[in-house]
Structure 1
Amino acid sequence: MNKLFAQVTGTAAKAAPVKVLPQAPATPPALARIFVRDLVVMATIGIYEHEKREAQRLRVNLDMMVLDRQGQRRDDIADVVSYEDGVKIVRDLAAQGHLNLVETFAETVAHRLLADPRVHSVTVRVEKLDVFPDAASAGIEITRQRG
């Protein structure tokens, strides 16, 4: 009864604070970089009438940070994210039909690459090579990541 009285009136001995030990920081996943450099494809892309009628050269660069296959050292393509998948995505999109903007092209490629759960982040650079006679290229570079 005295215990109950002490609890109700607040005169019970206070419990010692619980000591919380710091947790070790979570280990980030091991990542590897997969890339494709200077892939040139023909695409109908642009807002002007001549760009809607005639394909033009695009140069595409891809950088993908992917989960490393630590511990798995089989010499098997099924164990890795293949750069060939990125090339196929770019070629398929270029062949798909007209897009108005290189921004849309880059976003679409990034979205499709990130559909693979092993891909952590991607940088996509899309350049029109023949848009200005006095410039090597004009375009966009975006970086997107999972989450």
Structure 2
Amino acid sequence: MTDRIFVSNLSLHGHHGVMDAEKSLGQKFMVDMECSVIRPGNAADRISDTVHYGELCDLAAEVSASSVFNLIETFADTVAQAILDRFALVQEVTVTVRKPSAPISHVVDHVGVSVTRGRNG
């Protein structure tokens, strides 16, 4: 059976971006993660038979804190790959990173990227 496990609007502070001020001051990023999970046919009512969404949040926070990314595309890709590496039940993952305070000269709610990665390419 395939389940969809997701996290919406995880708020993280990071130092990602190409501008010096973004790297030194940091800013808020909003992260969504959506995982397609193949649960065992004999899955029970146990956390070991699924993916813990709290651990997804922890992993995204670890990735954000462990590096400074110039591009949020690279940040999103790194989170997606980390999810596939850590959670064997996840077959495909989409990670969206939104930047509500992008240094651009237009009024927007946010800018962002979405990446989808899977076990088969």
Matching of residue 105 in structure 1 with residue 75 in structure 2: yes
Displaced runs of 4+ in structure 1, greater than 3 A? none
Q: What are the within-5 Å matches in structure 2 for residues 113-128 of structure 1?
A: 113-115=83-85, 116-128=87-99
Higher RCO structure (Cα 8 Å, ≥6 apart): 2
Does 1:68 find its partner at 2:25? no
* Counterpart for residue 129 of structure 1: 100
Pairs aligned (count): 117
| Comparing 94-103 and 40-49, the one that deviates more | 94-103
Residue 36 of structure 1 corresponds to 7
The whole-number CA distance in structure 2 between the counterparts of 1:93 and 1:120 is 20
Match of residue 94 from structure 1: 64
* Structure 2: gaps of 5 or more residues: none
Q: Percent identity?
A: 32
Secondary structure of the equivalent of 2:8?
Answer: strand
Give the structure-1-normalised TM-score.
0.75
1:55 maps to 2:26: yes
**Does the residue aligned with 1:35 lie in a helix, a strand or coil?**
strand
Gaps of 5+ in 1: 1-29
Query: Radius of gyration: which is bigger?
Result: 1
> Which amino acid is 1:43 matched to?
G
- Which of residues 47, 50, 54 in structure 2 aligns to 1:77? 47
Would you say 1:138 and 2:111 are equivalent positions?
A: yes
**Does structure 1 conserve the Cα–Cα contact (< 8 Å) formed by 2:39 and 2:49?**
no
Letter in 2 for 1:69: P
Distance 1:76 1:34 in 2: 15
Deviations 1:97-143 (A, max 9, x none): 32111011000011011112211100000011111461010110011
